[in-house]
A and B are shown apart, each in its own frame.
Chain A
């Protein structure tokens, strides 16, 4: 099958890949670029496990075709920590035990980071609605919401 040659930026690195017309960005990240931190939960945009940033927008990578990502800047969970330093959200997720199995965690972290970039002082309700696209079956969301709200407070310097 004919494959497209695509150039993009992933976590600041220039990458090139070949992709089939039917491959999604999620397929490309996982199967071609071997960035397996981004997870597949549904492949239909209903669970948020594959959340990534595409040119600054939060998207489900399973709903974006790989070929559409040409010349785009993509940020995944693998780019969230800076060197040895975890992002404050990553640290708070650990502090609050906001993960159990950890499968939804990369998507939730990417989505929560997008929330805080847009709304540094979110209410609980705002946080709950923003993260409503990210399914977690283990935690009941309680500790996730607390972790995000506390990270927001910390990042505001409170």
Chain B
């Protein structure tokens, strides 16, 4: 087996030079100087401004759309409606960790029979200025027949609820139901026998929980520029974590061949899963096709909130049984998740992950995917796992209190470890759950004395991580520098982490490698940057391609020296003669070989196209200290400690940043963030003033602890680190609230009015 084929983890025989150090971001200077070009930053000659008309109704039949007045406005060049797109059949396609139905995708991109939620796109306009486009929107006459709507998941499940889709019958139920329902699917994750487990329990905790929908909250609104030319070729520039996915969906919806659409990913201003789906690109391309000019569409924040990516609101029931000695005997849960207007909530990963932190014999998790008149949910950082963890980890905390066992110790006694069979299927290899728990237990923050109205909460979380289709090309330039082309947009420094691994393999300084995100014409297919896969999967493929290139470099040296290639080794960026030839020739550097490439066979390059497997599951445990203001119910975060297993941190400061950012997103979810709807089903807070995300003054420093239990399936031990740290946060904060006040709140967010109400209900506010 050649070095390129063995991509498993091995202790390195020498000290790593760059892996594990903080290397300058290759995109850093562009991003601190304003040069980096994001979705809305491209300006093309003759470019028009697009705008999207959105439904003001949560649920309405569209009986007609009259665009004639808008088309008559001077400066309006194109108007499109549902008539401009052919319908799509029902067919499931994969998007990130979730799958979507292309029939639903086209309806989500532009309403067909009905507007399904407030903010649903109904028509789009391209005009010579943004103000003309906005004015034209107002002149489009849509004949809506307003229908009853439903938002809440429990209401949507009722037999007499307003029906979103008359053709939807609950999947996963036997026999097949004879009436349509808003419940798209019922699913189960099962291990052992929970009834037997509960019979063995001394203590059973049974609770219900509710969470509200929240938004990913990336600061960059969705934006794209599309251009369609008379020869049937299309080009799209857009903010996306997966331009190959944009190409797949946009070409399909617009009815053009894949080869005729080139998609370039701009820099992406955050996504967190919320940009794992396509909204604007087919509209911009269809507008451009109609008028022959490039069209830019950039959403306003109001549109981002009303029409894109929130995660599910949920209603959950949890039941956990344990013996007095702390052994958990059974875990059960029922998860009801809002999918939004079309099926596909993250209830499946929520069910997979619900009890994955624990080594249990008996688990049953039942999930329901339920449509409601809200924007179609998209992935949000460890999609679903954070929601089920809020329920399970809150109940675990109550169990610890009931048993009189420290919450970290209870988790340690039951922790998933190597050999644990997870309820969702796999048997874990080496994993770091025990290590994250010990890291928290030993952290100074976990042992600081607490003052009045202060409390400490702890919780754990799990995310499985993914691999997926990956293509990487490495070109050796004639001066011995490297052009490394990957196909995954870089949300957080992945380009740099990937080139660090290439540098380590090649034995050259990272600065000599220029990584770039190639467009869809430059590489084979790449799955999107999601599932914490990029540094893991693209890194693994890059190590492979580096080894392919090294083999070629050795071959060129062997040819130069006229010795067998097996007698040439690659060390420290040089080809050296080895074995019986050792010392016979001066080593050849990468520059030497590159310079003479023309004479030894032509350009030197390597490429790898692969479906990467072996993603390493990642666990996290987090502790939070809070102080509760008994007069207002306001919760202040005093300290936050996030310990997560990275496998191996390629660049520690970037890994810390992931943990810190995920923790703070979770803090926002725990304390403030929620979609608020009025009686008509319209979102009441579609802006950053009323949808309150954490700001700098809300927070302390966030202590990130990097645990490293190497992933055996990656050459440097990388697992993937982007998601798990958000999973425990909401439960940790709720557990801290209980610790501070004795009040258990089972509904998010823990906003001042809700906390104050709970405090007042308990003991007439014992803190007061």
Q: Name A's B-contacting residues (CB within 8 A).
A: 1, 20, 22-23, 27, 30-31, 34-44, 46-47, 49, 76-78, 80-81, 86, 90, 93-94, 96-97, 99-106, 109, 125, 127-129, 131-146
User: Could you say which of B131, B217, B661, B695 contacts A139, with CB atoms under 8 Å apart?
Assistant: B661
* B699 interface residue (CB < 8 Å to A): yes
Besides A23-B131, A81-B33, A132-B698, 12 other CB < 8 A contacts? A36-B43, A90-B33, A94-B24, A101-B267, A101-B270, A101-B271, A132-B696, A135-B695, A137-B216, A137-B272, A140-B699, A145-B696
| Of listed B218, B269, B493, residue having the most chain A CB within 10 A | B269
Chain B residue at minimal CB-CB distance from A110 = B34
Point out the residue from A44, A100, A128 that lies within 8 Å of B493, measured CB to CB: A100
Q: Which of A20, A39, A128, A141 contacts B38 (CB 8 A)?
A: A39
A49 to B304, CA, bound (A): 16
Interface residues of B in 658-693 (CB under 8 A from A): 658, 660-665, 687-689, 693
A41 touches B301 (CB 8 A): yes
Q: Could you say which of B34, B651, B654, B662 contacts A37, with CB atoms under 8 Å apart?
A: B34
**Residues B657 and A101 in contact, CB atoms below 8 Å apart:** no
| B41, closest chain A residue (CB) | A36
Check if A131 sits within 8 Å of B34, measured CB to CB. no
Q: Mark B23-40, 1 if CB is under 8 A from A, else 0.
A: 011011111111111101
Minimum Cβ distance to chain B for residue A51 (Å)? 12
Please state if B272 and A78 are interface contacts (CB–CB under 8 Å): no
Judging by beta carbons under 8 Å apart, are B270 and A99 in contact? Answer: no
Q: Which residue of A lies closest to B654 (CB)?
A: A97
Chain B 199-215 near chain A by CB (<8 Å), digits 1 or 0: 00000000000000000
Q: Which residue of B lies closest to A144 (CB)?
A: B696
CB of B22 closer than 8 Å to a CB of A = yes
| Number of residue pairs spanning A and B whose beta carbons lie under 8 angstroms apart | 191
B35 and A138 form a contact (CB under 8 A): no
Task: Known A140-B661, A141-B664; judge A78-B34 contact (CB<8 A).
Answer: yes
A144 and B301 CA atoms in complex are apart in Å by: 24
Nearest chain A CB to B680 CB, angstrom units: 22
Question: Whose C-beta in chain B lies nearest to the C-beta of A37?
Answer: B34
Q: Is there contact, CB below 8 Å, between A139 and B269?
A: no
Question: Within the assembled complex, what's the spacing in Å between the Cα atoms of A158 and B261?
Answer: 55
Docked-complex contact A37 and B492, CB < 8 angstroms: no
How distant is the Cα of A122 from the Cα of B271 in the complex, in angstroms?
A: 32
Residue of A nearest to B36 (CB): A102
User: Could you list 27 A-B pairs, sorted by A, with CB under 8 Å?
Assistant: A23-B131, A35-B34, A36-B40, A36-B41, A39-B219, A39-B220, A43-B301, A46-B687, A49-B219, A78-B34, A86-B33, A90-B32, A93-B32, A94-B25, A97-B656, A97-B657, A102-B267, A103-B218, A103-B269, A132-B695, A133-B695, A137-B661, A138-B270, A140-B657, A140-B702, A141-B695, A144-B696
Inter-chain contact A100/B688, CB cutoff 8 Å = no
| Number of B residues, CB within 8 Å of A | 63
- Chain A positions within 8 Å of B326 at CB level: none
Pairwise interchain contact A143-B696, C-beta atoms closer than 8 A:
no
A143 to chain B, nearest CB (A): 6
Chain B positions within 8 Å of A49 at CB level: 219
**What's the least CB distance linking B622 to chain A, in Å?**
12
Cα(A140)–Cα(B707), bound, Å: 20
Interface residue ranges of B193-248 to A (CB < 8 Å): 216-221
CB-CB nearest in chain B for A91: B32
| B580 part of interface (Cβ distance < 8 Å) | no
User: Interface code B242-265, partner A: CB below 8 Å = 1, 0 otherwise?
Assistant: 000000000000000000000000
Give the chain A neighbours of B689 by CB distance below 8 A: 44, 46
| Minimum CB distance partner of A102 in chain B | B31
Q: Do B492 and A101 touch (CB < 8 A)?
A: yes
Instruction: Flag whether B653 is at the interface (Cβ < 8 A).
Output: yes
A42 near B493 with CB under 8 A, answer: no
Q: Complex formed: what's the CA distance from A49 to B219 in Å? A: 8
B660 touches A142 (CB 8 A): yes
Residue of A nearest to B75 (CB): A1
Query: Counting CB contacts under 8 A, is B474 at the interface?
Result: no
CA distance A134 to B698 in the complex (A): 12
Q: Is B129 an interface residue (CB 8 A)?
A: yes
Chain B positions within 8 Å of A103 at CB level: 38, 218-220, 267, 269-270
Nearest residue in B to A1 (C-beta to C-beta)?
Answer: B131
CB distance from A46 to the nearest CB of B (A): 4
Which of B24, B129, B270, B687 contacts A44 (CB under 8 A)? B687
B492–A142 contact, CB under 8 A? Answer: no
Q: Distance in Å from the Cβ of B265 to the closest Cβ of chain A?
A: 13
Is there an interface contact between A86 and B696, defined as CB atoms closer than 8 Å?
Answer: no
Interface residue? B187 (CB, 8 A):
no
How far apart sit A69 and B450, CA to CA, in the bound complex (Å)? 52
Query: How distant is A125 from chain B, measured CB to nearest CB, in Å?
Result: 8
With the chains together, A6 CA to B27 CA distance in Å? 35
Is the beta-carbon distance between B687 and A86 smaller than 8 angstroms? Answer: no
Does B701 lie at the interface of the complex (its beta carbon under 8 Å from any beta carbon of A)?
yes
Q: Shortest beta-carbon distance, A113 to chain B, in Å?
A: 12
B29, A97: Cβ atoms under 8 Å? no
Say whether B32 contacts A101, CB under 8 Å. no
B579 beta carbon closer than 8 Å to chain A:
no
Partner of B270, one of A37, A40, A137: A137
B130 within 8 A of A: yes
Q: Please give, as numbers and ranges, the residues of chain B lying within 8 Å of A43 by CB-CB distance.
A: 300-301
3 closest Cβ pairs, A-B complex: A37-B34, A103-B269, A102-B31
In the complex, B318 has a CB within 8 A of chain A: no
Contacts of B657 in A (CB 8 A): 97, 100, 138-140, 143
CA distance A31 to B696 in the complex (A): 30
Q: B354 within 8 Å of A by Cβ?
A: no
Cβ–Cβ contact B33 & A37, under 8 A: yes
B654 touches A101 (CB 8 A): no
Docked pose: A31 CA to B40 CA in angstroms: 10
Contact partners of A38 in chain B: CB under 8 A: 34
In the complex, whether B709 has a CB less than 8 A from a CB of chain A is no
A140 and B34 in contact, given A41-B301, A42-B301, A97-B654 (Cβ under 8 angstroms): no
B665:A137 contact, CB within 8 angstroms:
yes
User: Nearest A residue to B216 by beta-carbon distance?
Assistant: A137
Q: A43-B301, A137-B270 are in contact. Are A78 and B33 (CB under 8 A)?
A: yes
B697 within 8 A of A: yes
B87 CB to nearest A CB, Å: 34
* Residues of chain B contacted by A101 (CB below 8 angstroms): 218-220, 267-271, 491-492
The answer to whether B697 touches A132 (Cβ under 8 A) is: yes
B25 touches A97 (CB 8 A): yes
With both beta carbons as reference points, the residue of chain B lying nearest to A38 in the complex is identified as: B34
Residues of chain B lying within 8 A (CB to CB) of residue A1: 129, 131
Residue of A nearest to B296 (CB): A31
Contacts of B686-742 to chain A: CB distance below 8 A: 687-689, 693-699, 701-702
Is B115 part of the binding interface, using a Cβ–Cβ cutoff of 8 Å? no
Contact A41 to B491, CB < 8 A, known contacts A86-B29, A97-B25, A97-B657: no
* Chain B residue with Cβ nearest A21: B131
Chain B residues within an 8 Å CB radius of A136: 219, 696
